[in-house]
Amino acid sequence: MANIKISEQKVLQIEAICKEFNNEKGELINVLHKTQSLVGYLPAEVQEIISKNLNCSLAHIYGVVTFYSFFTMIPKGEFPISICMGTACYVRGAEKVLDEFKRILNVPVGQTTPDGKFSLSCLRCVGACGLAPVVMVGEKVYGRVSPDGVKDIIKEYKQA
Amino acid sequence: MTQFKMHLLVCGGTGCRASESEKLFHNLKHEILEKGLENEVQVITTGCFGFCEKGPIVKVMPDNTFYTQVKPEDAIDIIAEHVIKGRQVTRLLYVNPETEQHVSDSKHMGFYRKQLRIALRNCGFIDPENIEEYISRDGYAALAKCLTEMTPAQVIEEMKKSGLRGRGGGGFPTGLKWEITSKSQSDQKYVVCNADEGDPGAFMDRSILEGDPHSVIEAMAICGYCIGASKGIVYIRAEYPLAVERLKIAMKQSVEYGLLGKNIFGTDFGFEIDIRYGAGAFVCGEETALIHSMEGLRGEPTIKPPFPSVSGYLEKPTNVNNVETFANVPVIINKGADWFASIGSEKSKGTKVFALAGKINNVGLIEVPMGTTLRDIIFEIGGGIKDGKKFKAVQTGGPSGGCLTEKHLDIAIDFDSLTAAGSMMGSGGMIVLDEDDCMVSIAKFYLDFTVEESCGKCAPCRIGNKRLNEMLEKICDGKGTMKDLDLLRNLSHVIKDTSLCGLGQTSPNPVLSTMDNFYDEYLAHIVDHKCPSGQCKALLQYVIEAENCVGCTACARNCPVNAIAGERKGVHVIDQASCIKCGACLEKCKFNAVFIK
């Protein structure tokens, strides 16, 4: 049994989400989507609560969580940075942009900076290929990003 | 109803929204209110116009003026000049790059001239959040016709006659699929719309759902009528929040208008639609994997047969079609199968939407009749290669497809000709590559993707693709041997022949097609230890030419790892051991002293 670090209130909210989908095992992915947007990520403790409510094994839930790239067991930073690695962005230099983010933030892809401010991830095509290469910080889209422009983007959020 | 004299259509697709088209929309509204024109001029947000390269786009109707790259602050001029004084704002018009003349009507632009819009017919013309605008353009007329004038068998016959083939990549005849599902006996059947567009660089399904969601809803209901299903499910990527939102609005409106629900058009037929979210897994584009994902499981494929048309979602007969396929259906019913079959090539009827991207001047979403040549698409519609570079290849079909070269430019593209040329139609991604792109790296890029997206269920795909990727990495690092080339080819064929689902059966295509068309590039990496396009970092060296170096220190100041030494006004030298090959020095040097060896 993992230590439940999440608040009593969150537990109730997660249980409510499960109930909203009639505690049905077939709705697992919908439950995970809603829970992730509530908690921010899906740690083992959260998966245990869902496991009890939907009456399915923790192994099954862990299997689903780790299968889909949208679900994460690591908390995202305050400002999640996603670099589009779709083909259009790739051929227009997304890799160099990613290298620059990795260098400045000093974290690998999939990790969060120690101060919890930034997390770095890659995504596959946001569909703004006309603006390639594209970087997203939270919901905001930055188009035609050059390696030189990376530090300015980070600066924008450092002060925030 | 108010009769507006003028309509301003603002593109609200994801691409244009990323360039502040929403703010532009609000500014236009504000200006109109300010000038007291709210009863004469209407501003609406539409779906994607397709010309993403020049976004955000504003179209003024009825005079058809097409403004490009409009900024939020341009709202003032558009209202003051165009709307009030009737003078076009010339600086916002598209400039023909060849003649340098302003073009105001999109019909006369190279980008639009050769296009024919069937699936995208309403994108950029209607407000996707207003069902009445869809209805005013013959929306739901096809559903009415099917329900009140035709039997399911007649509709299926019409679909078969039209020659429509699945647009998701497989190219399976849609009418035939419907017929098979209709013949399966069951108390409950399902219509599933596959909107899990996972091909990186393809965004046609999203644009249709964002710009014309009702066409998909209407087609799903028609399909339900044909196969005897009362339930439809849209399986959509969670990464498409705007498409989800517009689809939800459209579904709500359809229910309110009685176009979804019980007793549609006073008949016994009832149909309802539900949404399920994908969670980022490329393999879920495969029918059986998609169905497992809808059931709350890992999205792993299973062996066919049984086909979903016999046993699919919850083991009931299920008809899965892609978004673009559905978007074609209402038009076929309205205009007739003969009309549709008159467009396109012999075995591929109608049109195909492509997401044109990469090193091309006009990035965007295009729709052309099947049988259009690649040359027309790339050089006429696409406006040629960016920065005057040389065309090298075009990659179609995404991670399952291959590269086509100069010698393929004149083939008339359809499902069969692309396959014959060693690539495939796929869902319609089309990435143009220029002389600076290394084909070995491109193959590796796709393999990286496949390795990450392989579900891991069958060994050939899980292990085989990983080995392919490692060999490509070796070659990119200059450590490849000639034996690796044989192994690459052999292993590719084994993976193709023995993988369980479409993902593995097609994943070696990028490797095989680049080996077929660019064998000399593989050789250059292996034998000469050179990357001809200068992309493979391990194989290149940045060197400073002493003759050209003036000692301005620009390179040394911009080097992120301090690998460049040299006095002011003296010749600089790059320390190869600490150089990380980022290329910053090359970019910063104004005297052409830095070059790649």
CA distances for B456 relative to A101, B55, B464, angstroms: 30, 40, 11
State the Cα torsion A28-A29-A31-A34 to the nearest 10°: 170
User: Quick check: B56 and B22 in contact, CB under 8 A?
Assistant: no
Q: Where are the domains of chain A?
A: 8-67, 79-158
* A25 in contact with B, Cβ within 8 Å: yes
Q: Which residue of A has its CA nearest to B237?
A: A70
**Complete DSSP assignment for B208-227:** HHHH-HHHHHHHHHHHHHHH
| Minimum-distance CB partner of B296 among A29, A103, A134 | A29
Contacts of A88 in chain B (CB under 8 A): 200-201, 357-358, 363, 431
Give the pLDDT confidence of B335-383 residue by residue, as tens digits.
999 999 999 999 999 999 999 999 999 999 999 999 999 999 999 999 9
pLDDT at B2: 67
Report CA Rg, chain B. 26
Distance CA B548, CA B132 (A): 67
pLDDT at A1: 43
Cα end-to-end distance, chain B, whole Å? 70
Give the pLDDT confidence of B384-434 residue by residue, as tens digits.
999 999 999 999 998 999 999 999 999 999 999 999 998 999 889 999 999
pLDDT at B228: 97
Tell whether the model's pLDDT for residue A139 goes beyond 90. Answer: no
Query: Coil, strand, or helix at residue A71?
Result: coil
Kindly give the parts of chain B with pLDDT less than 70.
1-2
Domains in chain B and their CATH numbers? 6-107 (3.40.30.10), 131-340 (3.40.50.11540), 351-434 (3.10.20.600), 439-526 (1.20.1440.230), 541-596 (3.30.70.20)
Query: Coil, strand, or helix at residue B230?
Result: coil
pLDDT at A4: 52
> What pTM does this model have?
0.92
Cβ–Cβ below 8 Å for B18 and A32: no
pLDDT at B169: 83
pLDDT at B338: 97
pLDDT at A3: 56
pLDDT at B315: 96
Which CATH code, of 3.20.20.70, 3.40.366.10, 3.40.50.1000, 3.40.30.10, is assigned to A79-158?
3.40.30.10
Q: Which residue has the tokens 């505690």?
A: A23
Q: Side chain identity at A136, as an amino acid letter?
A: M
Q: Residue B260: which of B226, B294, B235, B230 has the closest Cα?
A: B230
Q: Where are the alpha helices (DSSP H) in B90-199?
A: 110-113, 131-136, 141-149, 152-162, 174-183
Best B19, B231, B316, B403 member to test A by mutation, with max A CBs in 10 Å, is B19
Q: B-contacting residues of A 91-150, CB under 8 Å?
A: 91-92, 96, 99, 103, 123-132, 134, 141, 143, 147
What is the greatest pairwise CA distance in chain B?
Answer: 88
Residues of chain A above pLDDT 90, percent: 72
Cα end-to-end distance, chain A, whole Å? 38
Q: Residue B49: which of B98, B3, B94, B96 has the closest Cα?
A: B94
What backbone phi and psi angles, to 5 degrees, belong to B61?
Answer: -110, 145
Q: B-contacting residues of A 43-82, CB under 8 Å?
A: 63-64, 67-71
**Complete DSSP assignment for B440-480:** HHHHHHHHHHHHHH--SSSHIIIIIHHHHHHHHHHHHTT--
Contacts of B445 in chain A (CB under 8 A): 87, 90
Q: Which residue of B has its CA nearest to A100?
A: B582
pLDDT at B253: 98
pLDDT at A129: 83
| ipTM score assigned to the predicted complex | 0.90
Contacts of B293 in chain A (CB under 8 A): 29
Q: A-contacting residues of B 298-357, CB under 8 Å?
A: 298-299, 314, 355, 357
Q: Which residue of A has its CA nearest to B284?
A: A68
